[in-house]
Amino acid sequence: MPQTIDTPVVAPLTDLNEEERLFQSSVRRFAKERLAAHARAMDEEGKFRSDLLREMFSLGLMGIDIREEYGGQGGSFFQSVLAIEELAKVDPSAALIVDVQNTLVSNAVERWASGEQKQKYLTRLATDTVGSYALSEAGSGSDAFALSTRALADGDGYRLSGRKLWITNAAEADIFLIFATIDPGAGYKGVTCFLVERGMEGFQVGKKEDKLGIRASSTCELILEDARAGRDQVMGEPGKGYKIAIETLNEGRIGIGAQMLGLAEGAFDHALKYARERKQFGKRIGDFQGVQFELAEMATRIEAARLMVYNAARLRDAGQPFITQAAMAKYYCSQIAEEVASQAVEVLGGVGFTKDYPVEKLYRDAKIGRIYEGTSNMQRVTIAKALLDESK
């Protein structure tokens, strides 16, 4: 059945229930009281503080929708989106760590792992272990399943060989979802997902990338050289890795939309505060119509982005079709994040161009939104196909 593009919302989008409001407030408090003071230093050092990571585990942010029986919070996907949004207002790197853990790694394990694998891995992911999602390679970016990483059958297991690039959370992770092909001739039907742990013989985390933005979030190369994986490390069925990847990434795009939404909100908050305080020609710069127009435009775009993200997340939680809405949210939010962050720099003027104010960092952080978890062009393709299918 074609994906509809006008599925009705399942709840008033901006209405939060009491549990959601309390959760949102707790994340906001952590972001302001603990994260904000360290965001600039972590960006400069290119490393996320281990004490803050431990705090995110203790607050339950790394296992939001993992069931309580595994040590998680038993929350909803929508709560994960709220957490990502709130963290991104202060530091999009922190938001990305939480995003990958919840919307990609634990989400995939919850849906596709065996009972034994869930017991083994979800309990760790919920309490003290970072996870990483390893699909991309040098030759497989938008063409996600053009994988060169091989999994050769060997007795009662497989031997994995290849290299993964641009893998988020890799420096901190101890659990990795690694996608490899067991049969290159089968195309995407040969792709298989393996649960791999740090310290496995033949597996190592390689070079850490030196990036333009989201610098405190690690992005590394993974190297597999005849790494031995048992059949009990296959997640799902052999040859079904493409289905795991597609379904997980569709949900992950809502998370990236939330990250970019939060980033835009953070940049706007700084611009609004500065417009209220900065004076020129004897009055606040916010009293000048030119600045007012900029602020009005920023606020309107942010409100539209929030509605799109919340809508996609609510649809997902309700079990309704959401793929097109996720693509729209990811595409639009990544666009407005870059634009709003740029406008914020301009509102602040010269000081906005310096590292003394956070908008410079948010502007750098925004660029990746158009690139990872499906480029803007790939989101346009998804949206356009849905429109064309609906016209039949």
Q: Which residues are catalytic?
A: 373
Pairing of strands 157-168, 131-134: unpaired
Q: Which is nearest to 84 in space by CA: 315, 328, 301, 337?
A: 337
Q: How far apart are CA 205 and CA 220, in angstroms?
A: 7
Q: Is residue 104 classed exposed, middle or buried when 0-12, 13-18 and 19+ CB atoms within 10 A define those classes?
A: buried
Is 365 within 8 Å of 260 (Cβ atoms)? no
Taking only Cα atoms into account, the Rg of the chain, rounded to an integer number of angstroms, comes to: 21
At which residue do the structure tokens 């001739």 appear? 185
Alpha helices in the chain (DSSP H): 18-30, 39-45, 50-58, 77-90, 92-99, 107-112, 115-127, 241-277, 289-317, 323-348, 359-366, 376-390
The β-bridge partners of 168 are: 219
Is 300 within 8 Å of 265 (Cβ atoms)? no
Any idea what DSSP says for residue 199?
T
The b/e string for 357-369 (b: 16+ C-beta within 10 A; e otherwise) is bbbbbbbbbbbbb
Q: Is residue 114 classed exposed, middle or buried when 0-12, 13-18 and 19+ CB atoms within 10 A define those classes?
A: middle
Q: Which is nearest to 101 in space by CA: 124, 117, 118, 85?
A: 124
CA angle 364, 367, 373 (to 5 degrees): 135
